[in-house]
Structure 1
Amino acid sequence: MAVRSREFWAYKETHFPPNVTKETLEALPDFQIRDDDIVVASYPKAGSNWLLGIVCKLLRSAGKTEESADSLLTGPMEMTLPTAEHAGYVTLAAKPSPRIVKTHVPISFAPRGVSKPQNQVKVLVMMRNPKDSAVSYYHFNRRLCQVAGLAEPPVWKEYAQAFVGGKVKYGDYCDHVLGWWQMWDDPHFLFLKYEDMKKDLLSSVKTIATFLEIALDEATIAAIAEESTFNRMKEDFGRSKWPTKRIIPRKGIVGDWKNWLSPDESKAFDSWCEGKLSGTGLNFDFE
């Protein structure tokens, strides 16, 4: 039975935001994934919108689409955005190929064509260290409340405790990333880390292009990397017609968690991650 709260509700032991419904979650596994779909999956605030922007630029440069990023992206497929009549997956079903499918759901809720991919479908999984993810998610929730006229979210101290306890939208971070990480050796998947992209964006753009089988010359790839820096992306998002998209970029740095986590909170995060991620082969850079 679904239990609702002001900030999220629980379904099958996972928390979801109010604009993700039980009907949608039950429909997602049967959503038909096309052979040329590009899927971007992540826990919220891991840099997925940064990655989506790069994918859009690659597709446009390769002549595979003429749509703008605003029209190509429909928001997470599981959400019903305030400006939309239907959940994202309904809108996606009517879109022409190539489609970019964005989702924040755990892999157990994803379409079967994503969790058990076949043929040519490509899934890019974006990951970010949990401390910076928590800080970024906290600030995004505060901005979202302001834009939507909602009540203020919990203060940071309460949010940090809730994050480690998995009592936030989309549930336990570690469980979420490990669910996707089980596919690390499947050729349909490409795993990317926010921290690696910050260190060498050009190499990351090349890797993404290769995975998507998009052949572009070096100059074009370099130009896309330059256009995809955080400052350029922030300018692009600032021009979006969607208010929620305009508030997505904040600092775009690695290590901002040091300005927010107390020594005790940092230790709690470390202990939690060690218990969940140790021995899985999945690790993160925190600065």
Structure 2
Amino acid sequence: MAEATASFMDDDDFSHVVKGIIYPRFVSEANLKAMATFDIRDDDIVIVSYPKTGTNWTLEIVNKILSAGGRTDASSDDMVGKLEFQYDDESRPQHVMLQECASPRVILTHLTPDTAPPGIAHPQNNVKVIVVMRNPKDTAVSFFHFGEKMRSRFATKQGPSWDEYFMQNFLSGNHPFGCYFDHVLSWWERRDDPHFLFLKYEDMKQDLPEAVKTVAAFLQVKLDDASIDTIAHACTFSNMKSTLDNSRYEDRTLMARKGIVGDWKTMFTDEQSRLLDFKCKAKLEGTGLHFNFE
């Protein structure tokens, strides 16, 4: 086992490797195997993301659109929990509990197409899949700080320094849920499939009402301009942070930090920035996938 992988393996929150990818201890191999037979309903809405790229923000937007359209009376707190997870305080994994949820279900996952249920990797009929993405520099910084907050809250052992995390884990791809670039590109290959909508964190920050309008149209929920503006206001970072801070789920209260584009400048050295720029060029050039970094 590589030293970089071991640094996460020694942490209680990141405890095992399946087919070369590190998973948190609450994503068991049994849960991953169950994905092959997970039943997707025709009205399911799936939010796919790499960790710390805007999952909860997108969930808030989707939940409020469905609520405004009269399609759900559930709160976003009722929809949290990744498909592949089993939390310590729950006797059953999320994929089992989701079978009992009323439609339309909003399903969250950090899996790639290779490990996600076939009905998500290859959606049919009216299944909607929203893939949210964030530039890799801000993603790395957000994940690092989230790990620090989790360790502090739950009194686990000290984690890697920023430099160790960046070099040994994020840049190398020895990271929870796999290499950032492999993850986003595996979903990006489906960009021409009308079952998919791709959202970028940076675009949402630049024009949130337009993002809300786009998501509503994708979900086929008719909303007037006033409703779109109301949802956008409710989903600004400051308002969403209040929602998350008051969640009944402890880990969700740690999700929101700054919610800005370009925070990577507070952490990255010039050399680290250069190395990740080189990685971006090597991985993304020719794919049509581009990110804004400020």
**TM-score category, normalised to shorter length:** over 0.9
Query: CA offset at residue 229 of structure 1?
Result: 0.2
Query: Counterpart of 1:60 in 2: which secondary structure?
Result: helix
Distance 1:235 1:119 in 2: 36
Structure 1 residue 35 corresponds to structure 2 residue 42:
yes
Distance 1:18 1:178 in 2: 25
- Counterpart of 1:127 (choices 128, 133, 143) is 133
Structure 1 residue 148 corresponds to structure 2 residue 140:
no
Task: Give the aligned partner of residue 160 of structure 1.
Answer: 166
Deviations 1:64-107 (A, max 9, x none): 11112111x13111111233222211111111111000000112
Task: Give the aligned partner of residue 237 of structure 2.
Answer: 230
Deviations 1:129-157 (A, max 9, x none): 00000000001111111222211221100
Distance 2:40 2:227 in 1: 30
**Aligned positions of 1:72-111 closer than 5 A:** 73-111=79-117
Partners of 1:62 and 1:215 within 8 A in 2: yes
Query: CA offset at residue 230 of structure 1?
Result: 0.2
Partners of 1:74 and 1:92 within 8 A in 2: no
TM-score, scaled to structure 2: 0.94
Distance 2:108 2:198 in 1: 15
Query: Counterpart of 2:95 in 1: which secondary structure?
Result: helix
Partners of 2:247 and 2:253 within 8 A in 1: yes
Partners of 1:147 and 1:244 within 8 A in 2: no
Deviations 1:198-238 (A, max 9, x none): 00000000000000000011111110001100000001111
Distance 1:276 1:150 in 2: 34
Task: Give the aligned partner of residue 227 of structure 2.
Answer: 220
Partners of 1:34 and 1:121 within 8 A in 2: yes
TM-score, scaled to structure 1: 0.97
Partners of 1:46 and 1:126 within 8 A in 2: yes
Q: How many residues align?
A: 285
Structure 1 residue 250 corresponds to structure 2 residue 257:
yes
Task: Give the aligned partner of residue 52 of structure 1.
Answer: 59
Query: Counterpart of 1:65 in 2: which secondary structure?
Result: coil
Identical positions, percent: 45
Distance 1:23 1:49 in 2: 25
Distance 2:145 2:36 in 1: 31
Deviations 1:235-276 (A, max 9, x none): 111111111111100000000001101001111111111111
Gaps of 5+ in 1: none
Task: Give the aligned partner of residue 169 of structure 1.
Answer: 176
